Amino acid sequence: MSIYRNAVWFMKGLQEYTKSGYEAAAKHFAPADLDVNLSGRSFMITGANSGIGKATAQEIANRGGTVHMVCRNKGRADAAKEEIVEKSKNQDVHVHVVDMSSARQVWAFALNFTESNTLHVLINNAGCMVNQRELTEEGLEKNFATNTLGTYILTTALIPALEKVEDARVVTVSSGGMLTQKMNVDDLQFEKGTFDGTMAYAQNKRQQVILTERWASEHKKIHFSSMHPGWADTPAVQTSMPSFHAKMQSKLRTEAMGADTAVWLAMSPAAIKQPSGLFFQDRKAVATHLPLAYSRSTPQDEQKLLTALKEFADKFKP
């Protein structure tokens, strides 16, 4: 990682990504933006049993939307569903057990889902930060398989269904950590050098932003966006970044604060007025590169990413 990028990013984060950064931004939010009735609208949220995903699912259920929770652990998902239903009094909440690191499972689920369900909004929230290099049963590095390939397959498989409905949206929960990375398309599974889970995660999040931009240029009937939730106090941060969590706990955002922009992008009439393909933070489109960071990829490298993902996806397609 670039020392310059890391230093600039951390200083930016202290000012903008913390709880106080959210509170400052929220003074300019329009409360009416989320005053919507979602009855008749169907939402899919991956990683919805805890953290930002669960908070997002709760906000959608509160407003009458149909919620499809895509989760790996059935027990935790069922418990989260019960809590969401109890708080919202909305019974239209459904659990789908899928391991997003399994390309075959993601394909099978998505293709089956579209046979009997309508979908208006996909929220790609599931993610992981595995700090030791680990391979899935399909032989793929786990961070890449979950964060990038799983997101790519699910979105690709659902695009035909999304193109059939009005006001279709895809929101991908990325991370401001991607600002520290220039995509390395020649080592997507981190086979070279010393493995660094934080770097791998940030690479994946950079890839998600690039995917969002490409999808937006290719599928005009769907509104695509990616977003940074800020530094939020979630179970994932506690387990994957324990030292960061311990040092920053008092400054971290709540889960609801972290989810706010994803919720806004998924349901607000104001969000759809923004151009498709942008990266958001606290309900505003923001730059995808730090000043003088030299983190931009060439169009050729971006195409190499798309080509590689298609090859992986096709390999595991039923």
H-run or E-run covering 52: helix 51-62
pLDDT of residue 11: 92
Secondary structure of residue 30 in the 3-state scheme? coil
Q: Just list the catalytic residues.
A: 201
Annotate 283-297 with DSSP letters as a single string: TEE--SS-TT---PP
pLDDT of residue 279: 98
Q: What is the pLDDT of residues 280-296, one digit of tens each?
A: 999 999 999 999 889 99
Neighbours of 3 (CB within 10 A): 7
Which residues is 225 bridged to in the sheet? 171, 278
pLDDT of residue 249: 84
Q: What is the pLDDT of residues 119-135, one digit of tens each?
A: 999 999 999 999 999 99
- Phi–psi pair at 219, nearest 5 degrees: -130, 90
pLDDT of residue 164: 97
- Phi–psi pair at 2, nearest 5 degrees: -70, 130
Closest CA to 200 of 299, 102, 132: 132
Residue position matching structure tokens 């400054």: 251
How far is residue 95's CA from residue 86's CA, in Å, rounded to a whole number? 15
Rounded to 5°, the CA angle 96-97-101 comes to 125
pLDDT of residue 243: 80
Is this prediction's pTM over 0.75? yes
Which residues is 169 bridged to in the sheet? 121, 223
Neighbours of 97 (CB within 10 A): 15
Q: What is the pLDDT along the chain (318 residues), one digit of tens a residue?
A: 578 898 999 899 999 999 999 999 999 999 899 999 999 999 999 999 999 999 999 999 999 999 999 999 999 999 999 999 999 999 999 999 999 999 999 999 999 999 999 999 999 999 999 999 999 999 999 999 999 999 999 999 999 999 999 999 999 999 999 999 999 999 999 999 999 999 999 999 999 999 999 999 999 999 999 999 999 878 877 887 778 777 778 889 999 999 999 999 999 999 999 999 999 999 999 999 999 889 999 999 999 999 999 999 999 999
Neighbours of 170 (CB within 10 A): 28
Closest CA to 143 of 110, 111, 175, 95: 175
Query: Across the chain, how many H-helices and E-strands are there?
Result: 12, 8
Task: Determine the length of the chain.
Answer: 318
Structural domains in the chain, CATH included, are 1-315 (3.40.50.720)
Tokens at 23, concatenated: 């509170």
How far is residue 28's CA from residue 71's CA, in Å, rounded to a whole number? 34
Q: How far apart are the first and last CA of the chain?
A: 38
How far is residue 268's CA from residue 29's CA, in Å, rounded to a whole number? 12
* Cα–Cα distances in angstroms (integers) from residue 37 to residues 63, 218, 259, in the given order: 5, 30, 18
Which residues is 281 bridged to in the sheet? 228, 284
How far is residue 263's CA from residue 306's CA, in Å, rounded to a whole number? 27
pLDDT of residue 48: 98
How far is residue 47's CA from residue 215's CA, in Å, rounded to a whole number? 22
**Strands in the chain per DSSP E:** 42-46, 66-71, 93-97, 121-124, 168-173, 222-228, 278-281, 284-285
How far is residue 124's CA from residue 12's CA, in Å, rounded to a whole number? 25
